[in-house]
Amino acid sequence: MALDADATLGDAGEFGLISELVEIFEGDEQVLVGPGDDAAVLRIKHGHVVVSTDLMVEGRHFRRDWASATDVGHRAAAQNLSDINAMGGTARHLTIGLAAPADLPVAWALDFARGFAEECASVGATVVGGDVTRADEIVIAVTVLGQCYQSPVLRSGAQPGDVLAVTGRQGWAAGGLAVLGRGFRSPRVLVEAYRRPEPPYTAGRQAAEAGATALIDVSDGLLAEARHLAEASGVAIDVRTGTFEIPEPLQAVGAALGADPLQFILGGGDDHALLATFPDLASVPTGWHVVGEVTEGEGVTVDGGTYEGPTGWTHF
């Protein structure tokens, strides 16, 4: 049915909204049954199936006055696609659950869907189903299914003697969030990095094929993710700050806010960079930057000692 441009979700109803959303998402050759039935049916040709689920809650993970609906769609897709990337895999199919107030404009939901579809298309992934319901605030739940052509790379494989390396932008989204939190919109490049992250989507499979021993995406903070690797692998990790180049926009924000710009790199998330361990320097692929080392022991240190700054996002 045709909806007025200013229609709300309450005007459209559940099935009216679904019919509009289905038009935005296209299938692929692996989708035998897509949106519209009780469940999707997929064909998996070979390899391993990898699955991940993430939530986004309005006011906790995004604000509508800080990011457009299209931006939120890109962000919601990116954080899920990155989880498959962090297993050394490629995302293939996703489902979306959307809970929202009845007075939310339909246009917001459709713009969100378009942003989500655009981000998925950048890696060749498609949306195959989902659900919508009423809630007091917007809640987005996404499940992504991907494929690994080799054994998935886990967090638990790091060994003493490995090197720690990162790829992708790191600290940019955190800088943008700090700017928005102070009521500013500049430097624009950092604000846009927060609104629409640019994960290194091809780097996960690249790392797996290069022999990465452990792999994780930086969604909550570089030091926080390094700690996950250390704990899962039963090793110690030391991060060396002298290996990082601090981009000029982060230097500018640090100066304006009276903060050490390094804290955005070490404690910032939402860029969805990848952090990995490799057996030696020779095995580190092009585009990756060595930032530390793995040793016997436990925990994470910075330049050989305790780090007193923020190490990452905590959910509770």
Going by the annotation, the residues of the binding site for substrate are 61, 270, 313
How many H helices and E strands in the chain? 9, 12
Token digits for 62? Answer: 């995004």
**Rounded distance, CA 223 to CA 215, Å?**
14
* Beta carbons of 187 and 263 less than 8 angstroms apart: no
Token digits for 13? Answer: 């109803």
Cβ partners under 8 Å of residue 132, min gap 6: 9, 14, 17, 18, 21, 97, 98, 99, 100
CB atoms within 10 A of CB 50: 20
Cβ partners under 8 Å of residue 46, min gap 6: 149
| Bind-site residues for ATP | 130-131, 155, 219
Q: Minimal CA–CA distance to 80: which of 132, 134, 30, 116?
A: 116
| Bind-site residues | 38, 52-54, 61, 83, 130-131, 155, 217, 219-220, 270, 313
Q: Minimal CA–CA distance to 75: which of 118, 135, 104, 134?
A: 118
| Bind-site residues for Mg(2+) | 38, 52-54, 83, 131, 217, 220
Find the length of the chain: 316
**Rounded distance, CA 110 to CA 130, Å?**
14
Strand order in the sheet with 299-302: 214-218, 273-278, 163-167, 289-295, 236-239, 299-302
- Write down the residue that tokens 């200013």 correspond to: 6
Cα maximum dimension of the chain: 63
**Sign (positive or negative) of CA dihedral 291, 296, 300, 305:** negative
- Give the phi and the psi of residue 245 in degrees, each rounded to 5: -95, 130
